[in-house]
Structure 1
Amino acid sequence: MAETSKRRSCVLSDEDIQCLVESDSEQSLPDSDFDSENELDDHALMDAAGNEGSDEDNSANQEFVWEDMENYRGQREHFTGSAGAQGPAKDVTEIVDIFELFFDKELIETIVAETNRYAEQFLRGREPSARSHSKAWKPVTEGEIYVVLGLFMLMGIVQKPTLQSYFTTKGVISTPGYRDIITGDRLELICK
């Protein structure tokens, strides 16, 4: 049985449904040879045609028309809730306390456990080469994870092209502070 690939374009309007079938070849199949996918498409089109009676469906079937914004009149939303921080964040004023609302102790413990587990799995059964930084791996601590998260936030302010460029000592592109907190190799290992 020869098959042809067909592409269907359907235009739904208020008055009728037009289905255009474009065939990639001149052969056509008898109706009984359609595969089940085409039959499902046909049934879906018939269902769409049968639902033309409701106003809701008619509005969905109408073609969208772009308009310019000159005649647009927006409606102002009326906020009815209470403004400001809610729940446990209501009385928090210290930046560290706000940070800990998002990164609580449980989340940090999970990050530490999963980072250490991944490193253990990665190193298991491997003998790192002499030049590999992974030879220096030691389990990460909660304090280091706080440092890494803090540095990531700072990297959003001081943007550089690579992770190692934050730790360079080369003159004009040097950024003091990063090297004083953690080494570039350690940060790279933790991120790996």
Structure 2
Amino acid sequence: MASPSKRTLCKESILSLLDEESDEEYVIDYSENDSECDTSVSDSELSEVEAFEETLQDQGEQPRFRNPKDLQWSDRVSCISKYQFSGKPGVNVQVKDANDSLELFELYFDEQLVEMIVTETNRYAEQQLSNNKILLKYSRLRK
């Protein structure tokens, strides 16, 4: 039995194909003389990919990769709707002194957040102590 044929395609060839603005079929030279190409795919590997795609389609899932021939290009950029911004831009809180770093810190770390950090830290310490882990002689958890 003859060995499966291998096709090689360089990164440069792929990039040049992507940069072209033609819808014509491409004829690619798969010569083995190109020393910069090191990627090769055998026919058996291609058939495995096709079998995997069929399995995904049978299961109702979409494959992550698509055949470039299945893509349809258009000149239209996109049909994403733009939403009108209705908020007030900029800082929307009252600050007495913008140079007071404590006041700015307390905008984000209010009393409720600090209380939650303390509660969760204490809970973690209780869990560590209840697991009977061996503590060092001068560990802070011994106090």
TM-score, length basis structure 2: 0.48
Report 1 or 2 for greater relative contact order, CA contacts < 8 Å, sequence distance ≥ 6.
2
> Which structure features the higher share of helix residues?
1
